[in-house]
A and B are shown apart, each in its own frame.
Chain A
Amino acid sequence: MAIKGLDIFKLTPKTNCKECGFPTCMAFSMKAATGAVPIEKCPYISDESKALLSEATAPPMKSIKVGSGAAEHTLGGETVLFRHEKTLVNRNLFAVELSDAMTDDEVAAACAKLEAVKYERISEAMYVEVVAVRFAADKDKFVALVKKVAECGKIPMIITVDADLAKAAVAVAGAKAILMGATVDNAAAMVEVAKAADAVLGVCADSIEALHDLVETIEKLGYKNLVLQVSDTSIKEAYANAVDIRTAAIKGNDRSFGYPSVVFTNRLAPGDINMQIALASAFVLRYGSIIVMEEMDFNAALPLFGLRQNIFTDPQKPMRVEPKVYEFNKPTGKDPVLVTVDFALSYFVVAGEIERSKVPAYLAIPDAGGYSVLTAWAAGKFGSTVIANFIKEANVAELTTSRKLILPGKVAVLQGDLAELLPEWEVIVGPNEAMQIPKFLRDLQA
C-alpha cells in the first residue's frame, strides 16, 4: 500500500480535537494508513481529500463478485503474490465452455456431466461454477443456451462481441453474469450493456499494452466491474500475461490491472484434455481467476479441485480436527477402534472411507499436533505412548467391548510397543491407504 501515515496527517487540520476517538491527529493517521480505521472518522478532512485517499488506501486488487444467490462467488482481492507471504483469499473458479454450434444432444450430455461431477471433499463442495457460452452463428439458440445455464444454477459467461446480442443474453442470465467481452471496437456499447444489467465485463485485447489502455478507457467510462482475459492464442503469452498483470497490481501498484483474470485453456490446447489439465494446474498456482476447460470429467476434476483446495488454505491456520473419539455408522458398543491423527485432511479421508464401508466403528484421534500420520510420527507426536495414553484417558475400553485397535499401515512399526503398552488390546496394522479401509473392515467383520 502506497499511502503512508504522514500523507494522511497532512490532510488533517492537526488540531488534535479527539473526535475521531484518537488522542492526536498523528495517532489517527497512522492507524488509518493501515486500513484499521476508515478515513471518514475524521469529520475535518475534506471530501476531495477523502476521495483521493480512499483510492490510495484501496486494496491493490479489487474483489469482484460474480453470480447471484447461491451461485455467488468472489474473485480477486489478493494482497500477496505468494501464499506463504500471508494467504491467498479467493480461490479461482473453474468453467467449461458450450456453444450454440453444439447439437441439442451434445448440450444435454455436457449438462448431464456438470450434474454428475459434483462431490464433497473435506467439507467443501466441488463442482464447476461457471459455464461459458460462446456465440457461433445462431442468435436465438445462443440466448436460449445462456438462459438454460442460468437456470441450472451456474454462472453464465456470455462470449460475444456483438453488443445487441450481449444485451439479449444478459437479460436472461441473472445478476452478475460475466460478459466477454469488451474490445477496442465495442467498448462503449458493451459498458452500456454491462452497466444496465449489473454484469461483470470481460476485457479482451491483442496485447498486454492494449489491454491496459482498454481498461483505462473503460474505467473512464465509469465501469470498474471487470475481469481481464489473458492471451488465448499462445501459452507463453497467456502465462506471462497472467503473471505480469498480477505482479503489476500487487507490486507495481497499477490499479488498472487490479482485476481478476480469465484463462481459456480450451483455446490454448484444443482437444487435448491432459494439456488442459496441466495448464489449469499451472494457472491455479499462477494467477488464473476463472479457468475455462473444454470439459470437466473426474480425471480433470479430482486433481484440479484438490490442488485448488490445497493452495487456497490459509498457511497461518493449520487445518485440524478436535482430538476425541468419533463414531461412524452407528456403533453399538461392540465395534472395532481405528486410530488416526488430528490433521483435517487425514481425518476427512479416513472418515469418508469408514462411512463408505458401512461397518460400525470408532475412530480415536489423539492430539498429534495437527500433522499427517508420517509427519506426526517423524515429529514424535504420534508414537505408541501418545496413542496408548489417549486410549486410556478417553476411556475407549468403556465405549466398546471390542478389543481390536487398528493402526494406520504407515506406522506399522508402532505395533510391538503399543501391544506392550495396551496388553488387553489386539493391535492390528491396517492398510497403508485409506481407500483400502472398506475392504479391510469388511474382512475383519467376516
Chain B
Amino acid sequence: MPYKKTELKFNGKINTCEIGAGDAAISIGGENTLLFLGDEGFKPAVGIAITDSPEDWSDCFTDIFGDDLKNPAAWAKAAVEKSGADFLLVKLASADPNGANNSVENCVATVVAVEGAINVPLVVEGCKNAEKDAKLLEEVAKALEGKNVVLFSAVEDNYKTIGAAGGMAYGQKVSAESSVDINLAKQLNILLTQLGVKSKDIIMDVGSAAVGYGFEYVASTMDRIRLAGLGQNDESLQMPIITNISGESWGVKEAVSTLEDAPEWGDQEARGIGMEVATAAACVVGGSNAIIVRHPESAKTIKSLIAGLIG
C-alpha cells in the first residue's frame, strides 16, 4: 500500500500575541498544529537575557561583554547586536528584598534606559519575590506605557496587581507563571481572565528545568498543555508559551564547574552553551513560542535550528 500520512487531528488554535510596539513589534503563537508540523511556519522567537546583577554569571560573559556588564543599557544593546535575538529580557535581580533590595524607582530607571537602547521587544523579569514584583512590575508597566512589554511574571500571589496594571491599565502583556503543572497553568489563566485581562494579552510561563534535572516534567507538561489547547480546544490553555531557560541551564554543575573543578570535562563555556542549547531546543520542539537564553552563541544556534525546522 502506498504511504498515506497520518495526521493528528486538531481543532484548536494557539492565540497570536503581539509583543513590542511599532517597528520593533513581533508576534508569537498562532499555530494550529504542534510546532513545526504544519506548513504555516509559525516561528518561535528567541530572546537574549541580561540582568542588573551579573555577579554570579559565568566568567565567559565578562569576556564577551566587558564593561558593558555594569551598564544594563549598553549591555542590552550589545546583547541584541551580538546574538541577533528577536527580543530581550532584563532581570531586575537587585530588587530582591532578601538581597540588594534596590528601590523600585532605581529599577524602573534601569528598565527605561534598557528599553531606549534597543529596537526589539522587551520582557521585564522581576526578582521572584511575589510582593516586591507586584510593586515593581506595576511601576514598570506604568513607565513603559505604549511599549507593549511582557511583565515576567505574575504568580498566584500577585496576579491581581500585575494583571490589573499590566494587562488592563497600561496595555502590557502579562506572563502567567506556574510550576510545571497543567492544572496550575490553567487555573492562573482563568484567574487572570476573570480579573478582566484579555486572553490574547496573556502568555504562559509554565516553568522550566535544565536537561537532566527533572526536565521530563517540563516536557510532559508542555505536551499536555499543547494537546489540551489544540486537541481539546481548551481556551484556557491556548496562550503562547514563554520559557526562560537561561538561569537553570547556567546554574547546574555541568555549566558552573570550572576547568579546575572538572579538568576532564573540558572548556567551561562550551559546556554552558551545550546545556543551554540542548534545554532550549527541547523546549522549542515541546511547544515553547518564545525561548530565552543567555549566550549569544546559543541564541544564534536556536535561531538557525528554528529556521531549519521551518525550512
B:213-261 near A, CB below 8 Å? 213-216, 219-220, 223-224, 227, 251-254, 256-257, 261
Contact A274 B298 (CB under 8 A): yes
B286 CB to closest chain A CB, in angstroms? 7
What string of 1s and 0s marks CB contacts (under 8 Å) between A290-327 and chain B? 00000001111011111101110101000000000000
A74 sits at the interface (CB 8 A): no
Contact A254 B215 (CB under 8 A): no
- The complex places the Cα of A298 from the Cα of B267 at a distance, in Å, of 9
In the bound complex, residues from chain A placing their C-beta under 8 Å from that of B151 are none
Q: Known interface pairs A83-B220, A278-B280, A435-B256. Does A302 touch B305 (Cβ–Cβ under 8 Å)?
A: no
- The complex places the Cα of A116 from the Cα of B265 at a distance, in Å, of 10
Q: Known interface pairs A235-B308, A274-B273, A274-B274. Does A299 touch B219 (Cβ–Cβ under 8 Å)?
A: no
Name the residue among A208, A239, A251 with the largest chain B CB count within 10 angstroms.
A239
B56 CB to closest chain A CB, in angstroms? 10
- A235 interface neighbour in B282, B297, B311, Cβ under 8 Å: B311
- The complex places the Cα of A435 from the Cα of B258 at a distance, in Å, of 11
B100 sits at the interface (CB 8 A): no
B89 sits at the interface (CB 8 A): no
B23 sits at the interface (CB 8 A): no
Smallest CB-CB separation from B215: which chain A residue?
Answer: A310
Contact B211 A306 (CB under 8 A): yes
A303 CB to closest chain B CB, in angstroms? 4
Q: Known interface pairs A433-B251, A433-B253. Does A313 touch B216 (Cβ–Cβ under 8 Å)?
A: yes
Chain A interface, DSSP helix/strand/loop, else mixed: helix
A:206-250 near B, CB below 8 Å? 208-209, 211-213, 216, 234-237, 239-240, 243-244, 247-248
A side interface size, CB within 8 A: 63
- A345 interface neighbour in B1, B213, B275, Cβ under 8 Å: B213
- A315 interface neighbour in B5, B216, B251, B311, Cβ under 8 Å: B216
A286 sits at the interface (CB 8 A): yes
What string of 1s and 0s marks CB contacts (under 8 Å) between A411-427 and chain B? 00000000000000000
B side interface size, CB within 8 A: 58
In the bound complex, residues from chain A placing their C-beta under 8 Å from that of B280 are 278
Q: Known interface pairs A236-B308, A247-B6. Does A307 touch B36 (Cβ–Cβ under 8 Å)?
A: no
What string of 1s and 0s marks CB contacts (under 8 Å) between B290-310 and chain A? 000000011001101100111
Name the residue among A84, A272, A349 with the largest chain B CB count within 10 angstroms.
A84
Q: Known interface pairs A209-B2, A252-B4, A435-B257. Does A83 touch B219 (Cβ–Cβ under 8 Å)?
A: yes
Smallest CB-CB separation from B265: which chain A residue?
Answer: A298
What string of 1s and 0s marks CB contacts (under 8 Å) between A248-269 and chain B? 1001101011000000000011
In the bound complex, residues from chain A placing their C-beta under 8 Å from that of B256 are 433, 435
Contact B4 A282 (CB under 8 A): no
In the bound complex, residues from chain A placing their C-beta under 8 Å from that of B4 are 248, 252, 254
B:1-56 near A, CB below 8 Å? 1-8, 36-37
- Interface residues, chain B, with chain A CB atoms under 8 Å away: 1-8, 36-37, 179, 210-216, 219-220, 223-224, 227, 251-254, 256-257, 261, 264-267, 270-271, 273-275, 277-282, 284-286, 297-298, 301-302, 304-305, 308-311
> What would be 7 A-B contacts, judged by CB atoms less than 8 Å apart?
A209-B3, A254-B6, A274-B277, A278-B278, A299-B270, A307-B215, A307-B282
